[in-house]
Structure 1
Amino acid sequence: MVNEKKLDSIIQKIHESGYDGMLLYDIKNIQYVSNYKPTSIAFCILKENPVIFTSKMDMENAKNTSEITLKEYESIPQVIKSIKSEHDKNGTKNDINSGLLIEGSLAFNIYDKFKQDFKIKQSDILEKERMIKTKEEVDKIKTACNIAHKSLLDLDILKKQEESFSELMASYELGMLIRENGGSEESFNTIIATGKKTSLPHSSPSKEKMKQPILVDWGCKYMDYCSDTSRTYTYTEKEAEIEVIVLEAYNTAIKSVKPGKKLCEIDKVARDIITDYGYGDNFIHSTGHGLGLDIHEKPNVSKNDQTILEKDMIITIEPGIYLEGKFGIRIEDTVHVQNKGKVLGKLKPILN
């Protein structure tokens, strides 16, 4: 959970926006503010005295973890009625007169029910708050990186390729090692792409035997916080040539990370290098993204994101070059914004 000071800051920003409260339905946002991770339907009303409505099925779990007051969820009309009739500790009516802020991801059918009783406005207050990590969050992400990196080394992917392992079996073993080394699960479906499939940024492991080159994009969850790393193992002279270009873009982009820098400027640093070598059209995704409880969070290290880097943001840096039908190279690490960018984990960019 965020600390009390940060929760107060979120509620203050809700009030500064001219609204009395904010409706949370996204599981990760509820977990972020309360430490309770719903497994069933739940609503959180963030206001002066926040409350979570949770299902009877989830109540025991919620009681054991939530740091926000709980009420048993029965129906949306019950939630609306409870909000409208609530009184504070002094018996003063505590109406949501000025309306509710909502998450951009709120399902339309739920929005449609609440809008009949409240003025509604979409807000990204929570997403922006989640961009700045607490020390506890940074420590969890750092641990997730270390577990993920150790697990890849334990796997010995080059040996697996020599032993004719399939992409799917290597992916499965990597997941097992993540769990053995202290992670709870993968951050996302592990990508192990080999041969021509490396030119697909989001390839899925298959039952085919591993070929050359090998691209691994994997992550670990530790106490619900994610890591994200990519490594590519090259074999031919042409692959090595492209790898050097991607590594230059990677290193230069990381060196440019510092508070006060715009995310679009970081993206441009990496993109300009790759473009100067003649492969601009082959860098087909953004340079990175934020991560935390979700593998993809705000901000985006992209040409369109004007967000200014602040201390304790955590982003990925992941330039890549993809030659359609031939191969692709991507190098990625998770980076903590301090006075400069600090790569989390101890895995060197080139392993082979």
Structure 2
Amino acid sequence: MKNEELITKLSQDDIDSMFVYKPENIKYICDFYPSSFAYLIVKDEPVLYVNSIDKEDAEELSQVEVEDVKKLSEIKDELTGNVAVEETLEFGMAQYLNDDLNALTQSAIIEDLRKTKTKDEITKIKNSIAIAENAIGEIDFTSTEKYAAATLEFDMTINGSIKPAFDTIVASGKRSSSPHSVTSMNRVETPIVVDWGAKYDHYCSDITRTFIDGERQEEIWDIVLEAQTAAIRTISPGVEISDVDKAARDVITDYGYGDYFIHSTGHGFGLDIHESPNVSMKAKGVLEENMVITAEPGIYIPGEFGVRIEDDILVKKNPKQLTTLNKKLDFLL
């Protein structure tokens, strides 16, 4: 199905063949994620070329024909007519495919197809979310931030996660005012921002919870929750993507904290942790049914603390929150 849809899209763009190198794109088309050097050539009949290390697994799992990998200089004849490559393909690799780089067309056609998820992909994302949600109950805040992150990642691993979807963030105390703070050897203090996700069959999840203590933290947490609720209510097919960001941003601005909401409201995800669309104030286009996006507003007060709440949302006429965790979680230091 994905192969047929891709070939149809390529034909519509007057592309005769495409060289695919990014592992996530190979997984999307073939349902096999290579562990070593591999590439896919898409023509009338797509063929996956893999290293001997992956050959046995590829032949079992791939939805397209599998052959032994060849040197890139040997496959020029396979790439006929108008040839497309991914926008992320490195210059050095592209040179092996054609001496005239102007003859290669950069295309995001696979990434565009990946924006909306199939039923099978949604199931895999739900499984990834379930692993991540179950693990948060095992996090241990009695030591350092790194120790807390390790306990969380260990539980995800033993319950089916290939690896974390990204570097787990545990940022506590004043360090929580940096949205992407690097987890440290500092002892945990409040508030605690935990941003984490699992990978199930290479599909990601992405969740954030902020553990709070005290009236000031509670006040900011309540504003962030109100902003997130407003954003989620806005989500629906056909809605301008920027309107979702605006819904959250307007709430935070009305409370006087607009300058402290310093990132976009969300992003798409799937095989990559960050995919289109980017749910920001400058975003172009509209939401489409079966996109999966995050809703993650936050307030970050320098020198004090930060609060973020993040959930994973399936775009439907009535948006479906795929994450099921309580927004507010109990904890012990």
TM over 0.5: yes
Report if aligned partners of 1:53, 1:79 keep a CA contact under 8 Å in 2.
no
Q: Deviations over 1:93-144 (max 9, x none)?
A: xxx22x2111111111112232326721111111111111111111111121
Residue 17 (str. 1) matches residue 1 (str. 2) = no
Instruction: Name the counterpart of 1:116.
Output: 99
Residue 69 (str. 1) matches residue 69 (str. 2) = no
Unaligned runs of 5+ in 1: 85-95
* 3-state SS, counterpart of residue 138 of structure 2: helix
Report if aligned partners of 1:73, 1:79 keep a CA contact under 8 Å in 2.
no
How much does 1:307 deviate? 2.7
Distance 1:283 1:104 in 2: 31
Instruction: Name the counterpart of 1:242.
Output: 220
Distance 1:313 1:74 in 2: 36
Instruction: Name the counterpart of 1:26.
Output: 22
Once the two structures are superposed, the pairs formed by residues 115-264 of structure 1 within 5 Å of their partners are 115-116=98-99, 119-155=103-139, 160-161=140-141, 163=142, 165-264=143-242
Output the amino acid matched with 2:86.
E
Distance 1:71 1:7 in 2: 17
Distance 1:167 1:205 in 2: 6
Once the two structures are superposed, the pairs formed by residues 285-324 of structure 1 within 5 Å of their partners are 285-324=263-302
How much does 1:52 deviate? 1.7
Output the amino acid matched with 1:342.
K
Report if aligned partners of 1:259, 1:340 keep a CA contact under 8 Å in 2.
no
Instruction: Name the counterpart of 2:319.
Output: 341
How much does 1:30 deviate? 0.6
Output the amino acid matched with 1:21.
S
Question: Please, what TM-score do these two structures have when normalized by structure 1?
Answer: 0.90
Distance 2:90 2:119 in 1: 32
Unaligned runs of 5+ in 2: none
How much does 1:69 deviate? 1.5
Residue 107 (str. 1) matches residue 90 (str. 2) = yes
* 3-state SS, counterpart of residue 154 of structure 1: coil
Output the amino acid matched with 1:115.
N
* 3-state SS, counterpart of residue 26 of structure 2: helix
Instruction: Name the counterpart of 2:46.
Output: 50
Output the amino acid matched with 1:63.
E
Instruction: Name the counterpart of 1:93.
Output: none
Greater displacement, 12-21 / 112-121: 112-121
How much does 1:324 deviate? 1.1
Residue 271 (str. 1) matches residue 249 (str. 2) = yes
Distance 2:130 2:115 in 1: 21
How much does 1:63 deviate? 1.6
How much does 1:70 deviate? 2.0
Question: Please, what TM-score do these two structures have when normalized by structure 2?
Answer: 0.95
Distance 1:339 1:324 in 2: 38
Distance 1:241 1:29 in 2: 43
Q: Deviations over 1:196-223 (max 9, x none)?
A: 1101111122222101111100011112
Output the amino acid matched with 1:256.
T
How much does 1:172 deviate? 0.6
Q: Which consecutive aligned stretches of 4+ in structure 1 deviate over 4 angstroms post-superposition?
A: none
Report if aligned partners of 2:3, 2:46 keep a CA contact under 8 Å in 1.
no
Match of 1:60 among 50, 56, 61: 56
Distance 1:11 1:74 in 2: 23
Instruction: Name the counterpart of 1:88.
Output: none
Supply the RMSD in Å over aligned alpha carbons: 1.5
Distance 2:48 2:257 in 1: 51
Match of 1:332 among 310, 318, 323: 310
